[in-house]
Amino acid sequence: MLRGSGEASKIIMTGVPHVCFSIGENLKTERVGEAVFITDAYVPSGAHQFTVADGRNFSAGDEIAISKPVTDSWVHFMGMDALVRDGKEQTWITGELTTERTIRAVKIMSS
């Protein structure tokens, strides 16, 4: 996903030539297994680890989707209920934010 606004920007790629963007592919994903809850009270943006209720069914290399509900109270906490652009009020829609990640490692904690 690439998002932006404001002044035009140039993206400069480095390294061996490769596909940077591929638009129009219809990727099909499938939910496998049951949802597992994150038990940490707070996971900061950009964190590389977090604790789940039961990690026994996860392995390094698994692709996962992490979902976070976007509630009115979270929108207010983040200050996104008072956004203004070009003198016009901006609104944030509640719902859910989902990001896909690949598991690097799993450490099962003994109880």
Model pLDDT, residue 91? 78
pLDDT band (50, 70, 90) for residue 55: very high
Share of the chain above pLDDT 70, in %: 79
For the cut 70, the answer to whether the pLDDT of residue 58 exceeds it is yes
For the cut 90, the answer to whether the pLDDT of residue 33 exceeds it is no
- Cα 108 from Cα 55, distance rounded (Å): 7
Count the Cβ atoms, other than its own, within 10 Å of residue 13: 8
Distances (CA, A) of 26 to 8, 23, 29, 45, 108: 28, 9, 10, 28, 35
Write the pLDDT tens digit of every residue in 62-81. 989 898 888 888 888 888 88
pTM equals 0.60
For the cut 60, the answer to whether the pLDDT of residue 1 exceeds it is no
